[in-house]
Structure 1
Amino acid sequence: MTDLINNLSLGFATAVSLQNILYAFIGCLLGTLIGVLPGIGPTATIAMLLPATYALPPVAALIMLAGIYYGSQYGGSTTAILVNLPGESSSVVTVIDGHQMAKQGRGGPALAAAGLGSFFAGCVGTLILAAFAPPLTEIAFKFGPAEYFSLMILGLIGAVVLASGSLLKAICMIMVGLLLGLVGTDVNSGVARYSFDIPELTDGLGFIAIAMGVFGYGEIIANLARPEDEREVFTAKVSGLMPTKEDFRRMLPAVLRGTALGSSLGILPGGGALLSAFAAYTLEKKIKLKPGEVTFGKGNIRGVAGPEAANNAGAQTSFIPMLTLGIPPNPVMALMVGAMTIHNIQPGPQVMTSNPELFWGLIASMWIGNLMLVILNLPLIGLWIKLLTIPYRWLFPAIVLFCAIGVYSTNNNVFDIWLVAIFGVVGYTFIKLGCEPAPLLLGLILGPMMEENLRRALLLSRGDWSVFVSRPISAGLLVAALILLLIVLLPSIRSKREEAFVEEGG
C-alpha cells in the first residue's frame, strides 16, 4: 500500500506541472471534438498528430495522446445520443437507448448520465490500473491464442443474447458480420479473398465506413423515406438538462456494474472498451425492470449509463496490457506504443522500473483528464442540444457531408465514400426488415481476430482441436458460452425474451 501511495505521489508530482496539465487539457478538448464529429475516430486523430509529438517531452506527448483517447470516448456518446451516429465504435450500444431518450426530449439527462458514468468509471479504472498493473501482468501472460478465440466466441454469443427481436435474425446478422470480416487478405497465406480484383478490398472492409453507412446513412434514408410531417425532428422540448432523483437512483447501480465489467474486460487484449460496452448492455437487459421503468430500446437511462461506464473503464484499463506487456489491445494503444518508440522508450514490463515518472505520470494525468472532461462536457450539454433545434432539412446534408469527410480522411480514399453509400442502402434494408445492426458490427470486428487466433492456436497444437478444451482458461470461457447459449434456447426463457422485446416494438 505504501508503495502505491509513493508511486501515485510521484505520478501526481509529474502530472501537475503546468506544461503537462496544458497538454492533458488540449488532449481532452481535441478528443471531445473528435468524438462529436462522426467518423474521425481517435485512431485517425492520434495517427495524424503523432508527428506533432516529436518535439514534445515523452511524458507530455503520451499525456496528450491519452487525453485524446478517453476524450473521444466521451465525445462519441454525444453524437450517438443526439443524432443516432456512433462517433466511436464503442458508442454503438449507447445509440440504442440514448437516442430514444433524446427523441423524448431527455437528451440532457442522457448526456449527463453518459458523462457522470464515464467520469466515475474512468476514476475507478485508473485506480485499478495503478493498483493491479503489476500482478495483472502475470495473468495476461497466461492468455494464448486458444484463450482469445474462446473469449471471442463468448463475446459473439453475448451479442446474440443482446440483440432485440428474433434470435434467428440476430444470428444471421452476426454471420453476415463474420462473412464481411473475411474480405481482405488471408493472414497466413497472404492471398486476397473475396476482393473481386478490387485493389481497395485487399485490406478488408473499413469498420468506420460500414458503421456510418449502416447507422448514419441508413437512418437518414429511413427518415427521408417518410412524409415530411412524420420525420423524426428534434424540436422535442428539452426538459431539464440534469437527471432527476429517480434517474440517479436507477443510474447508480448500472454505473457500478458497468465499471466492474469494463475494468475486468478492458485488461484483455482485443477490443476491451467495445466488448465491455456490449457486455454491460446485455447485463442491464437481464436485470428485471422495476415498476414504472421504461423498457430497453425505448429510452431506459440504465442502457446509457451502464455501457458508457463500461467503455470508459475499459478504455482506462486497456492501458494495462500496453504499459505492462507492451501488447497493444486495440489500434489506439498500438499508436501509443508507436509514440513511445518515437521517444526511445521500449514499451513492456520494464517501463515501470526504468521510467517510473512516465508510467505513474501518465496514470495520474488520467484522473486529472477525467475531471477536466466532466468540467468541459457538463456545461456544453446545453450547446450540443441547441444544435438539434436546427431543421432536419439543414441537418441531414450536414451529417451526410461530415460522414463523407470523416470516412475520406481515414484512408484518403474515395472508395470508402462509395462503401458508406452502399452500406447506407443496406442499413435502410435492415431497418425495413426489423434487423438489429449492432451484432453485425461486432461480428465484423471480432471475425478477423477470431480467425487469426483460431489458426494460430491450431498451428501451435499441430491441428489438434482439443487444445481449446485442454487449456483451463479456454475451457472455462467455452463452458460459459455454452451455458449462455443453453439459457437463451430454453423454451421458458425464449418466450420471456420475446415478450420483453415485443414491448420494444422489436
Structure 2
Amino acid sequence: MDILQLLYEGFLSAITVENIFAAALGALLGTVVGILPGLGASATIAIMIPVAFTLPSDSGLIMMIAVYYGAMYGASTTAILLKMPGAPSTVVSTLDGYPLAQQGKAGPAISITAIGSFYGSIISLLGVMFLTVPLSTFALRFGPVEYTAVMIFALLMAATLIGNSVLKGLFSIGLGVAFSLIGTDLQTGVSRFTLGIDHLLSGIDMIVVIIGIFGIGEVFYYLVTQRRGGKSGKRLALKGSLIPTKSDFKESIPPFFRGSIIGFVSGLLPGSGSTIASFLSYSTEKRLSKTPERFGKGAMQGLASVDTANNASVGGALVPMFSLGIPGSGTTAVLLGALMMYGVSPGPSFITSEADLFWTIVASAFIANVVLIILNLPLIPLFVKVLDIPTKYLMPIVLVIAVTGCYTLNGSFTDVWLVFLFGIIGFFMRVGGLSPAIFVLAIVLGEDFERYFRQALITERGDFTAFVTSPISLILLLVAVIVVSFDIFKTVKQKK
C-alpha cells in the first residue's frame, strides 16, 4: 500500500477528541517539564505510564510522544532566558540564545526556537516514514570502533568551534572527560575518584552539572561582577517586536534545513542523540557562515540550527526503536518499555505486523507537533516577562529553582553541595576564558566514549589499527585531525 495512503489511515485513527486532548496535555506538560530543570522527558514519561494505561493505546502513546517533543522545546526556553539549560542537548542554545535575550531579542529567539523545533520534527518524521528500513540497516554498520570515532569527532569539532582558543577547548574536553570517570568502573566494579562518598558511586548526575555550571555559575558571576543590571538591578530591555524579522527568518531557513538533516542522522545512532546533534549542527553553521565572529554573541542562525537539530534527533531516534527494537536515546528506551507493556514488540517485523499502530504513532507525532506550536507561540509574551524582573530579584529565583531542581533528583543534599561546587567551577571557567559548553559535552560523552573505546579494544583484541582500517572511523578521525591541526596552525600564525 502507498505510504501516503497508510499515513492517511493513521490520521483517521489518530484524529479524535481524546487524542487531541492527550496531545495538548502532553505538549503542555512536556514544555513545563523542559522549562524546569531536574525531571526531564524520560522521567516524566515513566511517571505518566500509569496514567497512559487508563487511556486507549493510541491516546496514551500520543500523550507520551507529545511530552517528549514538548520537553525538547521547553528546555531551550530557560537556556535562552536564564542561561540555565533544561537538558544537556540545550547547552549549545545558551551560546547565542542568552546573548540575544540580553540584547532585548528574547521574543524573536524563542519564536525561532519554536519554529525550528517544529520544522526539525516534521522533516525527521518524513524521514521516519520513507527511510526507516534502509537507514536502520545502515545504522547496523556502526560498531564500537565507529562509535568511538564519532565521539572523538564530536569532541574535537566542538573544541575548534566553541570558544576563542583551540587549546583552551582541548583543555575543557580533558577536564570534562576526567569528571566523567568519577563513579564505578563498569567492567571491574571498582570505585574511581569517589573520595569515599557513596553517592558518587553511580557517577555525577548530568542535571547537577548543567545547573551548577550554567545556573549557579551565572549567579556567582553576577554577584562578583554586577555585570547584569549593575547595582541598580535594571531590567533587560526588550527591543522591537516579539516576532522575528524578515531578516531573522531569511538567515534561519538554511540552518533549519541543515539542522534537520544533521539531527535526524545523529538520532539514528543509538547513544548519539540530541547532544551530539546540537553540537555538530552548531559547528556546521559556524563553518559555513560568512560572519562566524557573530557566533556566541547572538547569531540567530546559530540558535536556529541547534534547536532544529535537537527536535530532528527525536525522529531519528525513533527509527532504530521501531525497526530494530533498539532505543536511540534514554527517552525512546522508556517509550520502548511502554510499547512492550501494551503487548507490542518493536523490531524488524514491527512495521508490517503492526502497520496500523505504526502509522497511528507517526500521525500522532505530527499532531503533537502541530498542537505544540499552536500552544507555545501565544505563550512567548508570557515567557519573556521573566526579563521584566530586575536582575537583583531574578538571581535569587534562579538560585531557588536550581537548588530545588537538584534536590528533587535523588532527594540528596550531596547533589546540592555538588551543584554549588560546579557553580564555582563554572564561574572560574568563565573568568578564565574556558568553555563551559565544551566541558559539559565532554562529561556527557565521556562515559560513552570510555565504554565504546574499551569495547572496541576487546572486540579487536587490543589492535589499535582497527580505528584506521574501518572506513567510517578513518574518515571521521581524519576530518577531526585536519580541522584541529588547521585551527592550531591558524592560531600560531596569528600570534606571530
Matched, 1:452 2:483: no
Give the structure 2 partner of residue 230 of structure 1. Answer: 230
Output the CA distance in 1 between the equivalents of 2:185 and 2:50: 31
Give the structure 2 partner of residue 437 of structure 1. Answer: 436
Output the CA distance in 2 between the equivalents of 1:294 and 1:413: 42
State the 1:44 CA deviation: 2.5
Runs of 4+ in 1 over 4 A off after TM superposition: 493-496
Matched, 1:221 2:217: no
Give the structure 1 partner of residue 111 of structure 2. Answer: 112
Give the structure 2 partner of residue 260 of structure 1. Answer: 261
How big is the alpha-carbon RMSD for the aligned residues of Structure 1 and Structure 2?
Answer: 2.0
SS at match of 1:328: coil
Matched, 1:248 2:249: yes
SS at match of 1:230: coil
Output the CA distance in 1 between the equivalents of 2:409 and 2:47: 9
State the 1:373 CA deviation: 1.5
Deviations 1:430-487 (A, max 9, x none): 1211211011111101111111111112211222222222222222322222232233
Give the structure 1 partner of residue 121 of structure 2. Answer: 122
Contact in 2 for aligned 1:44/1:410 (Cα 8 Å) = no
Give the structure 1 partner of residue 468 of structure 2. Answer: 469
**Structure 2 counterpart of 1:410, which letter?**
L
Output the CA distance in 2 between the equivalents of 1:12 and 1:177: 45
My pick for the range that moved more, 408-417 or 72-81, is: 408-417
Output the CA distance in 2 between the equivalents of 1:494 and 1:268: 36
My pick for the range that moved more, 218-227 or 50-59, is: 50-59
SS at match of 2:388: coil
My pick for the range that moved more, 401-410 or 377-386, is: 401-410
Give the structure 1 partner of residue 373 of structure 2. Answer: 374
Give the structure 2 partner of residue 181 of structure 1. Answer: 180
**Structure 1 counterpart of 2:309, which letter?**
A
Deviations 1:290-332 (A, max 9, x none): 5xx9711111111111111111111221111111111112211
Deviations 1:325-365 (A, max 9, x none): 11112211111122122222223222212222221111111
Output the CA distance in 2 between the equivalents of 1:14 and 1:193: 52
My pick for the range that moved more, 258-267 or 166-175, is: 258-267
My pick for the range that moved more, 327-336 or 228-237, is: 228-237
**Structure 2 counterpart of 1:61, which letter?**
G
In structure 2, do the counterparts of structure 1 residues 236 and 294 end up closer, same or farther at CA, with 3 Å as the change threshold? farther
Give the structure 1 partner of residue 419 of structure 2. Answer: 420
Output the CA distance in 1 between the equivalents of 2:224 and 2:73: 32
**Structure 1 counterpart of 2:273, which letter?**
G
State the 1:495 CA deviation: 5.5
SS at match of 1:462: coil
Give the structure 2 partner of residue 152 of structure 1. Answer: 151
State the 1:18 CA deviation: 2.2
TM-score (norm 2): 0.95
Give the structure 2 partner of residue 202 of structure 1. Answer: 201
Give the structure 1 partner of residue 136 of structure 2. Answer: 137
State the 1:106 CA deviation: 0.8
In structure 2, do the counterparts of structure 1 residues 223 and 135 end up closer, same or farther at CA, with 3 Å as the change threshold? same
In structure 2, do the counterparts of structure 1 residues 488 and 60 end up closer, same or farther at CA, with 3 Å as the change threshold? same
Output the CA distance in 1 between the equivalents of 2:221 and 2:329: 33
Deviations 1:207-237 (A, max 9, x none): 1101110000000111122348526754313
Equivalences for 1:310-349 in 2 at 5 Å? Answer: 310-349=309-348
Output the CA distance in 1 between the equivalents of 2:97 and 2:305: 11
In structure 2, do the counterparts of structure 1 residues 233 and 283 end up closer, same or farther at CA, with 3 Å as the change threshold? farther
Give the structure 1 partner of residue 351 of structure 2. Answer: 352
**Structure 2 counterpart of 1:246, which letter?**
S
Deviations 1:268-304 (A, max 9, x none): 11232111111111111112435xx971111111111
Output the CA distance in 2 between the equivalents of 1:294 and 1:108: 23
SS at match of 1:224: helix
Give the structure 1 partner of residue 294 of structure 2. Answer: 295
State the 1:494 CA deviation: 6.2
State the 1:134 CA deviation: 1.3
SS at match of 1:250: helix
Contact in 2 for aligned 1:273/1:315 (Cα 8 Å) = yes
Output the CA distance in 2 between the equivalents of 1:350 and 1:415: 46
In structure 2, do the counterparts of structure 1 residues 426 and 478 end up closer, same or farther at CA, with 3 Å as the change threshold? same
Give the structure 2 partner of residue 503 of structure 1. Answer: none
My pick for the range that moved more, 16-25 or 370-379, is: 16-25
Number of aligned pairs?
494
My pick for the range that moved more, 392-401 or 357-366, is: 392-401
In structure 2, do the counterparts of structure 1 residues 45 and 234 end up closer, same or farther at CA, with 3 Å as the change threshold? farther
Give the structure 2 partner of residue 93 of structure 1. Answer: 92
Give the structure 2 partner of residue 52 of structure 1. Answer: 51
Output the CA distance in 1 between the equivalents of 2:241 and 2:256: 21
**Structure 2 counterpart of 1:268, which letter?**
L
Output the CA distance in 2 between the equivalents of 1:281 and 1:494: 24
Output the CA distance in 2 between the equivalents of 1:213 and 1:64: 31
Deviations 1:393-449 (A, max 9, x none): 332222212122222222222211111111111111112112110111111011111
SS at match of 2:416: helix
My pick for the range that moved more, 480-489 or 77-86, is: 480-489
Deviations 1:36-59 (A, max 9, x none): 113332123223223333333333
Output the CA distance in 2 between the equivalents of 1:410 and 1:53: 23
